[in-house]
Chain A
Amino acid sequence: GAGVSQSPSNKVTEKGKDVELRCDPISGHTALYWYRQSLGQGLEFLIYFQGNSAPDKSGLPSDRFSAERTGGSVSTLTIQRTQQEDSAVYLCASSLASAGGWETQYFGPGTRLLVL
């Protein structure tokens, strides 16, 4: 079956511009996570959506970052007024989530963002 997909695979933008990154989770997965992987910070959690609950935004580095998940499926991560330090690979993962249980997080291939 189809895995987690992300688009675009690569994005080059100018400092100060806004960007939108898209994640299509595995069908039926109720939990969706955004992470980013950068040279300086390694792999770090950004935001987590679970069903219809309010997202956990505790990992977002600044108020320039926001994310939404429409209809419990596709998610968009938006970075406003991009800065060079936002350059990173943005990874999306999804999983099933059952009450008190654990499910594997499946990762997408990532979007490589370069801010010039």
Chain B
Amino acid sequence: GEDVEQSLFLSVREGDSSVINCTYTDSSSTYLYWYKQEPGAGLQLLTYIFSNMDMKQDQRLTVLLNKKDKHLSLRIADTQTGDSAIYFCAESDNNAGNMLTFGGGTRLMVKP
């Protein structure tokens, strides 16, 4: 079945850039997503990218997709303490019900 992998933990200093990486195996992925989960809260969609794109920028967030290598990254510019959370990479196949397959999540810790 599909598999999505992420590193477990990332620590950065406030003001630095954060880069969270993700790899996936499903070659029929239609969309790839980044979700944010703060402690005790639900999942918040941060951004997404269609599989035929290679880059998407949204304010402080930049998503890069290397479809050949099945590698997705999320860059957060000028990281703030409020960005501390767990970030989940996910993929879906629009032709198979669009259910999400999630990575294990990367815990981002931002030090002041």
Residue on B nearest A108 in the bound complex, by CB: B42
B55 at the interface (CB under 8 A from A): no
Task: Give the distance to chain B from A46, nearest Cβ to Cβ, in Å.
Answer: 9
From known contacts A42-B105, A43-B88, A102-B30, infer whether A109 and B97 are also in contact, taking CB-CB under 8 Å.
Answer: no
Asked if B100 and A45 sit within 8 Å, CB to CB, the answer is yes
Asked if B99 and A33 sit within 8 Å, CB to CB, the answer is yes
Asked if A45 and B101 sit within 8 Å, CB to CB, the answer is yes
The number of chain B residues touching the other chain, given as a range, is 20 to 34
Task: Give the distance to chain B from A47, nearest Cβ to Cβ, in Å.
Answer: 9
Task: Give the distance to chain A from B64, nearest Cβ to Cβ, in Å.
Answer: 20
Tell me the A58-82 residues at the B interface (CB within 8 Å).
Answer: 59
Asked if A31 and B100 sit within 8 Å, CB to CB, the answer is no
A95 cross-chain contacts in B, Cβ below 8 A: 98
Residues of A within 8 A of B (CB): 31, 33, 35, 42-45, 48, 50, 56, 59, 91, 93, 95, 97, 100-102, 104-110
Residues of B within 8 A of A (CB): 30-31, 41-45, 48, 88, 90, 92, 94, 97-105
